[in-house]
């Protein structure tokens, strides 16, 4: 019996080592590819931006340069998402948590996003309940900002302008909810199915939303994706208050 247990233990240990090496190799490979792509992509972005603002070129050529820049920025965002989701999945992304007051934190995120080119064709509204203004959260503010901005981006990218995004807050019994809704077409059924039941064959692209799930889980919170009434998407972020 002891011999069999020792053999089983050795097999399990060997199996865990193989899985660990595989996961480490995958994380390192993604990080390496991301690093190698950044330099040529930065050059493409820089040249495209120069051509976009070169008045010696025709308006049509400048417009093509603008499109190259926009698509290159999308590629850069996807690379960052891929690298981040890999680190979060294998615990290689340390949380740098500190105390944050909710009111100023959300106002900064909404204001900065609204002033960015990403918000073209979008209007935004922040409705904070008075009793949440001074709520304290212990979070990694950079990661939480990323999660919220991913939801803003999702509302804008997948809906025709104009789209209105609303951010609301409420809390009860030490639990905070940040509710983000939009006036678009809502989450497609295939996307909701993948988010609720997990990814499978023919899963639509949900990397940005998956990162939101991972960030919330890392903070001991959760996220719920649903449809807004009468139309649009609705996402509820739930976090424990400190």
* pLDDT computed for residue 170 by the predictor: 94
Tally of CA atoms within 13 A in the half-sphere of 57 that contains its CB: 15
Dump pLDDT digits (tens) for 173-227.
889 999 999 999 999 888 888 887 766 555 556 788 888 998 999 899 999 999 9
- Residue 7, pLDDT score: 67
Cβ-contact 93, 214 below 8 angstroms: no
Q: Burial, 21: exposed, middle or buried (Cβ in 10 Å; 0-12, 13-18, 19+)?
A: exposed
More confident residue, 31 or 111: 111
CA-CA distance, 104 to 132, in Å (whole number)? 11
Residue 23 has pLDDT above 70, yes or no: no
Percentage with pLDDT > 90 across the chain: 44
What integer pLDDT is reported at residue 64 of this predicted model?
93
Q: Tell me how far the alpha carbon of residue 146 is from its chain's centroid.
A: 5
The predicted pLDDT at position 3 comes to: 66
Residue 105 has pLDDT above 90, yes or no: yes
pLDDT in tens, 45-94: 899 999 999 999 999 999 999 989 888 887 887 777 777 777 677 666 67
Give pLDDT tens digits for 216-229. 998 999 999 999 98
Q: How far is CA 43 from CA 85, 94, 100, 124, in A?
A: 25, 30, 37, 33
* Res 221: pLDDT: 93
Question: In the beta sheet, which residues pair with residue 176?
Answer: 171, 239
Q: What is the pTM of this model?
A: 0.71
Give 145's pLDDT tier (boundaries 50, 70, 90). very high
Contact 104, 142 (CB under 8 A): no
């Amino acid at each position: 019996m002891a011999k069999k247990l020792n053999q089983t233990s050795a097999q399990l240990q060997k199996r865990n080592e193989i899985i660990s090496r595989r996961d480490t190799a995958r994380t390192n490979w993604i990080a390496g590819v991301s690093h190698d792509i950044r330099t040529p992509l930065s050059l493409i972005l820089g040249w495209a931006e120069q051509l976009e603002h070169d008045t010696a070129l025709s308006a049509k050529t400048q417009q093509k340069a603008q499109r190259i820049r926009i698509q290159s920025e999308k590629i850069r965002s996807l690379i960052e998402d891929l690298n981040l989701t890999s680190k979060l999945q294998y615990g290689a992304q340390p949380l740098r948590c500190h105390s944050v007051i909710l009111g100023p934190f959300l106002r900064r995120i909404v204001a900065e996003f609204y002033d960015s080119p990403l918000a073209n064709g979008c209007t935004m509204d922040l409705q904070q309940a008075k009793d949440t203004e001074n709520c304290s959260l212990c979070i990694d503010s950079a990661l939480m900002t990323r999660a919220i901005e991913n939801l803003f981006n999702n509302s804008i990218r997948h809906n025709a302008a104009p789209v209105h995004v609303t951010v609301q807050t409420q809390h009860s019994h030490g639990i905070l909810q940040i509710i983000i809704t939009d006036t678009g077409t809502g989450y497609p059924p295939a996307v909701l199915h993948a988010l609720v039941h997990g990814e499978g064959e023919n899963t639509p692209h949900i990397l940005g939303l998956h990162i939101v799930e991972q960030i919330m889980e890392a903070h001991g919170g959760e996220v719920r994706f649903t449809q807004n009434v009468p139309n649009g998407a609705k996402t509820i972020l739930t976090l424990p208050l400190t």
